[in-house]
Amino acid sequence: MKAGIPVNENLRLEHELWQKNQELERITEAQRRIISIIAHDVRSPLSSIVSLFQLYRNRMIDPDRVNNFLNVSTAQLHCTMALLENLVEWGKIQVQSPSLASNLLSLKELVDGVFTELTVQASLKNNRLVNETSDSVRLYMDEHIVRFMLRNLVTNANKFTEEGRITVDGFNFEKKVIIRVADTGIGMPARMVERLFLNKDKYSRRGTQNESGSGLGLILIREFVDKAGGSIKVQSIEGRGSSFIIELPLN
């Protein structure tokens, strides 16, 4: 203990120093993970796109395969854009820990808006987007966050589904808003479901057309849902599809 400093004051200073060290470690870890993701999950698909364009420029791609080449490039660009959006949101949470604004929202209108954004991506894989959300469902939450969660879940479903159906269903149950995003895709084994939301054990796999991903989207969704006082769970059968179910407080 330093001379001349009361015991209580010394303890307070030590506690403040410990808190600042913890915050510094958290921010440093966030920066390390962002750099790691950029180095692998962003650079890799961009490198693939550059390689494809070089092949096309050098006339090494058969003219009959040009449409396939464009579809592959478009899918990779969509995945990269989604990843960058996730990185921005995740960085905000890790560094700023923003609070969520509450607004009265129509869930069905939000789902329609997200479907409009993702129509092209779904059509590239011949997937049908179906909105079965009740007209009466309202929830109090930040609109940007709800759109983010819906966009990530539908994009994820599209990633693992081909020539199938992606359905969003929303309804009220026991003072809660239930949001379910279901697909008829390839599903997941039980061991993968158990690891989906582990922050320190980020788990990802490639989609049906070799789309890449970082696993950040689901981690972000869990953090947003937790902050709103809700919960998220997954039901999946390998070879038959998956359902992501979010429960949020009605108010």
Other CB atoms closer than 10 Å to residue 15's CB: what's the count? 10
Let me know how long the chain is.
Answer: 251
Pairing of β 128-131 and β 103-106: unpaired
Q: Is the pTM of this model over 0.75?
A: no
Total domains in the chain come to 2
Domain that holds residue 111: 102-249
Provide DSSP, 42-99.
IHHHHHHHHHHHHHHHTT-S-GGGHHHHHHHHHHHHHHHHHHHHHHHHHHHHHHH-PP
| 238 and 170 housed in the same domain | yes
| 86 and 124 housed in the same domain | no
Pairing of β 128-131 and β 165-173: parallel
Domain edge (last residue) among 39, 68, 94: 94
Tell me the CA distances in angstroms from 131 to 121, 146, 148, 165, 180, one per residue in order: 16, 15, 17, 11, 10
User: What span, in angstroms and rounded, lies between the C-alpha atoms of 61 and 80?
Assistant: 23
Query: Tell me, what's the pLDDT at 157?
Result: 94
Query: Tell me, what's the pLDDT at 93?
Result: 61
Query: Tell me, what's the pLDDT at 98?
Result: 46
User: What span, in angstroms and rounded, lies between the C-alpha atoms of 42 and 56?
Assistant: 22
Query: Tell me, what's the pLDDT at 169?
Result: 96
| 57 and 131 housed in the same domain | no
User: What span, in angstroms and rounded, lies between the C-alpha atoms of 63 and 61?
Assistant: 6
Domain edge (last residue) among 72, 94, 116: 94
| 199 and 159 housed in the same domain | yes
- Tens-of-pLDDT digits for all 251 residues of the chain? 455 667 677 788 888 888 888 877 767 766 666 665 565 556 656 766 777 777 777 777 677 777 776 776 776 677 677 767 766 766 666 555 545 567 889 999 999 988 987 887 888 889 999 999 999 999 888 887 888 889 889 988 999 999 999 999 999 988 899 999 999 999 998 888 877 776 555 556 778 777 766 677 788 788 889 888 999 999 999 999 999 999 998 87
H/E stretch holding 224: helix 216-227
| 145 and 55 housed in the same domain | no
